[in-house]
Copies of this chain bind each other. A is one copy, B any other.
Amino acid sequence: MKKVNVAVVGATGMVGRTFLKVLEERQFPIENVYFFSSKKSAGSTITFAGKNYVVEELTETAFDGKNIQIALFSAGGATSEKFAPIAASKGIIVVDNSAQWRMDPDVPLIVPEVNPEAIKEIKKGIIANPNCSTIQAMVPLKPLYEKYGLKRIVFSTYQAVSGSGVRGVKDLEDGIAGKPNQFYPHPIAFNCLPHIDVFMDNGYTKEEMKMINETKKIFNDDSIKVTATTVRVPVRGAHSESINVEFNKPFELEDVVEAIKNTEGVVLVDNPAKDEYPLAVDAEGHDEVFVGRIRRDFSVDNGINLWVVADNIRKGAATNAVQIAELLVKNDLV
């Protein structure tokens, strides 16, 4: 496979560090790699594939003279807003993990198992990585969308503190040790916070609106009705989701289970008789989406309930972004 020059922007954050692991594990075809961060973390050393690299400060000229083809960004919305267009203007394709560009009609929003064809619609040199809680839900819903159509989805999430980066993990650890929370507005230890990202005027959080809007964009279908309640729970890594789905068409439950089981990137864990169902502690550190508790919803004509768990830093962020980069290479787009 052709080798490419890659930049990792936000290399020292939680997702950034996972980018490195995933690039190595998946043997992404790297020729040269460059690491960038804010001024604060610049100068630190990163070990990648057995070699040491010095992290460079991200500036407007930082990409120059390096012949970078793909930049994986995970440095927050403000950094993406400013630097993704700069990178793109230099011919670099940006895969951006922030929310900044996701709903831009000229920016593809991609889950590689779901809408890989969107890779062909790159218009401004930027591809967006969807929100973590959206990504993991899309993977098992894809085959069901194709077979039955998705009429309506009700999401209730159980999201890990790693989604807030090191600050979230520290708040949980501090809370368990009896120390006060510093990042979240309320204690997260022994508690559930129905509050992820900021509140919007309509009463929903931005996280909830991401799930609602990104689902429609990824399936390229505004007819899908979606609502969501997103909740932070005292779990370290991996988000769990209770998903209630109504299809447009009737179904046989065994066909639904079979379709999910055969979906790329999914591991079916669904044997209640043996107490087997997806669990956050089992999903942590893995790239797959774990699906179980699949059962008919008797309260509606064509509905099911399911329970979907994935590592939010891997499939929900770094792994999905690296998979998008792989699509770029495979499709000769870099």
Contacts and interface: CB of A to CB of B under 8 A. Distances in A.
A194 B227 contact: no
Given A154-B299, A225-B300, A295-B203, A195 B277 contact: yes
A307 B191 CA distance: 14
Interface string A268-295: 0000110101111100000000001111
B156 A295 contact: no
A26 to B, nearest CB: 27
Given A186-B279, A190-B280, A191-B279, A296 B233 contact: no
A18 B207 CA distance: 38
Nearest to A159: B192
Interface stretch (A78-86, A99-107, A234-242, A317-325): A234-242
B299 A229 contact: no
A240 B192 contact: yes
A303 interface: yes
A176 B175 CA distance: 12
Contacts of A279: 186, 191-193
A211 B80 CA distance: 45
A204 interface: yes
Nearest to A239: B192
B190 A281 contact: yes
B272 A191 contact: no
A248 interface: no
A48 interface: no
A211 to B, nearest CB: 11
Contacts of A52: none
B231 A234 contact: no
B303 A227 contact: yes
A153 B299 CA distance: 8
Contacts of A297: 227
A196 to B, nearest CB: 12
B156 A242 contact: yes
Interface string A119-162: 00000000000000000000000000000000011101010000
21 contacts: A152-B299, A154-B244, A156-B242, A158-B158, A186-B275, A186-B281, A187-B281, A192-B233, A192-B240, A192-B280, A199-B273, A202-B298, A205-B272, A212-B298, A225-B300, A227-B297, A229-B244, A229-B305, A231-B240, A231-B242, A234-B234
Interface of A: 152-154, 156, 158, 176, 185-187, 190-195, 199, 202-205, 212, 225-227, 229, 231, 233-236, 240, 242, 244, 272-273, 275, 277-281, 292-300, 303, 305, 307
Given A194-B293, A195-B275, 11 more contacts: A154-B299, A156-B242, A158-B158, A158-B233, A176-B176, A190-B280, A192-B233, A194-B292, A203-B272, A212-B299, A229-B242
